Amino acid sequence: MRQRFATSALFVLALVLIFVPAATTAVGVDSTAYRNAVSAAGMQTHLQQFQNFGQASVPAFGHPTRVDGSVGFTQSVDYVVQQMTAAGYQVRVQPFTFDRFEETAPPVFQRLTPTQQTYANGTDFQTMDYSGSGNITNARLVAAGGIVIPSPGGSTSGCTAADFNGFPAGAVALIQRGTCTFREKATNAKNAGAVGVVIFNEGNVDPNDDRLGVIFGTLDPPQFDRPVIGTTFAAGRDLYNLLQSGADVRVNLSVTAHVVSTQSANVIADTVGGRADRTVVVGAHLDSVDAGPGINDNGSGSAMLLDLAKQMSNLHISPTNKVRFAWWGGEEFGLLGAEHYVSTLPKAELKNIALNLNFDMVASPNYVRFVYDGDGSATDTKGPSGSGAIEQAFLDYFASQGLATEPTAFDGRSDYGPFIDRGIPAGGLFTGAEGIKTAEEAAVYGGTAGAPYDPCYHQLCDQWPANIDLKVLDQMGDAAADVLLQFAMATSSPNGTNKASGNAQVSTEFKGSKLRK
């Protein structure tokens, strides 16, 4: 972390604006003063507070957490409100209620015949979020149509009613992951008379996600009315091969779960000035998973936003366009806060959003500097028009500092999802989650090849200070400050027009951290 120095407000007001064509919208603002003010030292203060708030949840949860519905989350909301109010922003809390999925007993999946096997929860299988409850014993397992092993990718197993022709009522359905959502597969199985559903991973190699391991999936609300689990490819393949051999496969399947009506909130802080018809929304999610206090995921992004906002105020920067800092609730349950925000905006206000910048996990211990691939040139997942200009602004900044970057796809894993669904350009930064660092990446960024970018992802050990890399947090904070300032001072939207609409346009693979299909 490099040394910071104080800069006068007069210097900031004297920033020279060098305009370039509207197609890029970046105006060439000198961001030096802003970048020098935004620091890892400033962010550390907020990270320590988030850790303290997580500790406040121990009496109720048995461990520190800032999950929605906990004291830790409520204290985080109150803290952000206090910080932003003191900094002079127009602050509002946007409450919303959602059904939080909870399992109240460990799930069970066992094969009884032709040989016995007990599958391990979390290793061989996992309950789908919003699965129904049920205790199914000695039920026949029957495969749906469309299963292909080995899979070339694009399996349609269970995607149509025809895949269940002749399916015996009262059986458990075995379905292969593929092109349609888990909810669609489970619904088709239910309509055919299935009492439970087992969806196994597809088995092909896919560079964008794991098609071999356990499926950590969601059915999306509302809660389904029968148990649904996701398994590894190996577990599903072995069951399917037994069925193909003519064996009578019998299973036990048990899930005990319910939903809890939970009060959550978004915190939204607007600059006093700036053009409202070109609002720049800068977001990060404030909640953690149940398992831990979420200091990298996403205390790091939340702390970055706090410092970005506070230093913008301290330097008396008057943006050309309104800047809206937003801390979202309910991200870990499916981007619920960001979705509530965009879905409840009047159409005219939705059209006023010029772009969304998203910062989720920006201090991973075994990091890579990832930039969202706005133009789809590297990941084949293109964002709405203008997203490429946002990506380029980040790439230009990192290049100016001699820092390498890698592209990451718009796969629906963070709060940009509801924005790109409605045609709003988006971009942002990410330093890696459960993905494995390659030898090539380790050669460039250091760290450990063959290990996760964040070894504590969604675990209790995601705590301050052990699970934060201050060096990359400082680098990401500088990049965020530079790009935010460019678009805050821009004279047009990044796509040159206002194309946002209230209609969802993108069907993403993920809903937050959970797979949808």
Q: 427-467: per-residue pLDDT in tens?
A: 999 999 988 899 999 999 999 999 999 999 999 999 999 99
Q: Which two tokens stand for residue 13?
A: 């007001």
Domain endpoint, select from 234, 260, 286: 260
Looking at the structure, do residues 367 and 504 belong to the same domain, yes or no?
yes
Query: In CATH, what number is assigned to the domain containing residue 316?
Result: 3.40.630.10
pLDDT at 494: 82
Percent pLDDT > 70 in the chain is 92
Pick the residue with more confidence: 514 or 160? 160
What residues are labeled active site? 331
Q: What is the pLDDT of residue 504?
A: 41
User: Phi and psi at residue 30, in whole multiples of 5°?
Assistant: -75, 110
Report d(CA 284, CA 269) in Å as an integer: 12
Task: Give yes or no for a contact between 431 and 298, defined as CB atoms under 8 angstroms apart.
Answer: no
pLDDT at 163: 98
**Would you tell me how many other CB atoms lie within 10 Å of the CB of residue 396?**
14
Which of 260, 279, 307 is where one domain is finished?
A: 260
Distance CA 112, CA 140 (A): 10
H helices present in 252-386, as ranges: 300-314, 336-344, 347-351
177 with 46, same domain: the answer is no
pLDDT at position 240 over 50: yes
| Residue range 487-493: mean pLDDT, rounded | 90
In a domain, 2, yes or no: no
CB 194 within 8 A of CB 206: no
Query: Region 237-260: what's the mean pLDDT?
Result: 97
Which residues are bridge partners to 250 per DSSP? 113, 140
Residue 444 parent element (H or E):
helix 439-445
- Boundaries of domain holding 60: 9-89+271-515
- CA distances for 303 relative to 17, 39, 243, 294, angstroms: 28, 10, 52, 12
Is the CB of residue 7 less than 8 Å from the CB of residue 34? Answer: no
Average pLDDT, the chain: 91
Other beta carbons within 10 Å of 145: 17
pLDDT band, residue 498 (cuts 50/70/90): very low
Same domain, 82 and 211: no
**What's the pTM?**
0.86
pLDDT, tens only, 367-399? 999 999 999 999 988 899 999 999 999 999 999
Residue 2 has pLDDT above 90, yes or no: no
Peptide bond into 222 cis (omega under 30): yes
Residue reference for tokens 């026949």: 140
pLDDT of residue 11: 35
C-alpha Rg value of the chain to the nearest Å: 24
On whether residue 4 sits in a domain, the answer given is: no
Considering its fold, how many domains does the chain have in total?
A: 2
Kindly tell me if the per-residue pLDDT of 24 is higher than 50: no
What's the pLDDT score for residue 511?
Answer: 73
* 423 falls within a domain: yes
Q: Hey, which bits of 271-389 come out as E strands?
A: 275-285, 321-328, 353-359, 370-372
> Residue 190: pLDDT band by 50, 70, 90 thresholds?
very high
Answer yes or no: is pLDDT of 502 > 50.
no
Instruction: Report yes or no: 336 and 96 within 8 Å, Cβ to Cβ.
Output: yes
Residue 357 pairs in a beta bridge with: 282, 427
Q: Identify the residue with better confidence: 10 or 158.
A: 158
Residues 75 and 121 in one domain: no
Q: How far apart are CA 311 and CA 36, in angstroms?
A: 10
